[in-house]
A and B are shown apart, each in its own frame.
Chain A
Amino acid sequence: MLALEDVEKRYGEVWALAGLSLAVPSGELLAVLGPSGSGKSTALRVVAGLEEPDSGRVRVSGRDVTGTAPGERDVAMVFQSFALFPHLTVAENIGFGLAARRAPAAERERRVREAAEALDIEGTLDRRPAALSGGERQRVALARALAGRPRVLLMDEPLSNLDAPLRERARAEIRRLHRETGTTVVYVTHDQSEALSLGQRVAVLEAGGLRQIGGPEEVYNKPAHAFVGAFVGSPPMNLVPAEVVDEKLRGAGDIVLPLPAGAGVGGRDRVLAGFRAEGLRCLVAPGTGFAACLDAVERAGHERLWQLSVGAQRLVARPAIEACGTPGETVHVAVDRDAVRLFDPESGLAL
């Protein structure tokens, strides 16, 4: 198990990590998701020992490793840049850590070969990184990280340097390797679709703090914080500041939303209401919902998105397949009661 306990890290006036606590059970693949500056990379570097926290502890398999050298933590790392040694062959790159730790030559050779086989790069062992394709480099970086059989594998945006089709394959590869090795993996990314597709659980970070940790579905469907709703999912969750009036929610203009069953607004008269694009029903009978202007229709292969506006409030809907609308026309939409999530307008926390 890997644990961060109340870790704080400050750079001058900026809090990179503001009391972050995270526990990753052994064998889990945790995706750490956040925008740039959210502290996700700092968290990874603190686990690796490349940065020392100002306060808080880091534990690997129950052992407190805070303050120990990176090489003594039983972790391995894959960098976004892959960080391959340009003057060493692929085999030497993969065996670098084993050689640095003085593993016997025979053992080293066996494990380099195993790691290379696992990643299907045996054919490149004698080559130098300059002679490899982007995908091969990424595999070498992965093989090197796995060759030392670390307890925890840390990955910092490992697919950002690959182009889209390669990225899909590499995702599947990482999923397979994780299944086969059973290593605990912490996977940092700013790409929410990558986090949702890879992570057994997803931790969403903002401003150095944990906003939510949970399964991909939970994070998508039940955001614990307005930020999570706005950051996770494509398109992001619609967020509407609303007033609580007569068991209904009134937003800007004519927007009317149903108050979810059993929702405790706790005496608030203002809330932040969130709902996913698919929770917005399009083309309902006038009078049941509210009117919105259809600004644009976005097509992305199998699906369409409607960009709507009510005054200054913008909304995104994922209309049913038979719905057709022309940009510029006024459409009537309504929001499903079950789709609405409420957040505190000040703290952003789910109610």
Chain B
Amino acid sequence: MRARRLGEATTARLMVAPYAIGTVLLLALPALVTLTLALTEYDLITAPSFTGLSNFGDLLDDPAFGDAMVATLVFLGFAVPLRVGGALALALLLHRGFRFAGAHRTAAYLPSVVPDVAIALVWLFLANPLYGPIPILFGAVGLPAPDLLTTGPGAVALTVLISAFALGEGFIIALAVRRELPEELYELARVEGASPLYTFRRLTLPLMAPTLALLTCRDVGLSLQFAFVPALLVTEGGPDRATTFLPLLVYRNAFENGRYGYASAMTVVTFALTLLVVAAQLRVLRRGRLALD
């Protein structure tokens, strides 16, 4: 009754308020501050001094930034399809009810609730060239141990592999969407003689395409976060900058080199880059939708 007196619009505003305040305090304001600091030189100790666009000019000449950009794109190129594909594959494997289906689903989701740092430390142990189980296992079956920590491609592969386990949320969404697809469509496909592969290609994939596109967009944004912890703790950005992805480079510049303004400029560029990638995907997605209608 009280809600009726307040009016629907007022009630709606009241309910949204906590989130709106949170968004402003935790997202909009920091973003604005970052954007401002990108135009200054600031070491976190003395007052920032305005330098205009010179930080962005420096970025263009900084080989470390170019390398980080390439490394990040390579990371995205492998990690995003692996995670989205992995989430889809797990959802398709586990959507049916069977014995211990719940336990399997929990197992798929669980790594997403374990703190990144804990996972990173476990992988540091697993991949250790001297006593790690992975080199020992490879050795036991007579294969040369993979150089996960000592070569550039190996280290990138390792960070991709570590981040691949953070697919729990994508998995839950894909699982929910798959379970919403009417079972009768699949029964009909079976009666009409469609093979499992044909059914996947002609039925599951197109029906789940909008979801997968959305998951991919989301994953690109999140990837920059997923890349940070393993790069910082496991590979330490190396060997030789191979895994110094953009967020790690930002972190180093801001908190190790004391170039907060410069790091802010990098963040702005990283943000723009993410926007660009997501926008490109949305375009593809929209074209796909048009093809559907």
A residues sitting closer than 8 Å to B (CB atoms) are 48-50, 69-72, 75-77, 79, 81, 83, 85-88, 96-97, 99-101, 128, 144, 148
Contact = CB atoms under 8 A, between A and B. Distances in A.
Nearest to A71: B193
Nearest to B291: A87
A101 B194 CA distance: 7
Contacts of A71: 190-194
Given A83-B185, A87-B206, A76 B191 contact: yes
A49 B193 CA distance: 11
B70 interface: no
Nearest to A79: B184
A100 B189 contact: yes
A76 B182 CA distance: 18
Interface string B193-207: 111001000110011
A49 B206 contact: no
A96 B188 CA distance: 10
Nearest to A45: B187
Interface residues of B, number: 19
Interface of B: 182, 184-185, 187-195, 198, 202-203, 206-207, 292-293
Contacts, number: 65
Contacts of A100: 189, 192-195, 198, 202
A32 to B, nearest CB: 17
Given A100-B198, A128-B293, A85 B203 contact: yes
Most chain A CB within a 10 A radius of its CB, from B184, B192, B293? B192
Contacts of A75: 191
A90 to B, nearest CB: 14
Given A87-B207, A87-B292, A72 B193 contact: yes
Contacts of A83: 182, 184-185, 187-188
26 contacts: A48-B191, A49-B191, A50-B191, A69-B193, A70-B190, A71-B192, A76-B191, A77-B187, A77-B191, A79-B188, A81-B182, A81-B184, A83-B185, A83-B187, A83-B188, A85-B203, A87-B207, A96-B189, A96-B194, A97-B192, A97-B193, A97-B194, A99-B202, A100-B195, A101-B193, A128-B293
A195 B122 CA distance: 67
B206 to A, nearest CB: 5
B258 to A, nearest CB: 55
A100 to B, nearest CB: 4
A72 B187 CA distance: 14
Given A79-B184, A100-B198, A128-B293, A86 B207 contact: yes
A85 B185 contact: yes
A283 to B, nearest CB: 53
Contacts of B192: 71, 76, 96-97, 100-101, 144, 148
Contacts of A97: 191-194
B185 A69 contact: no
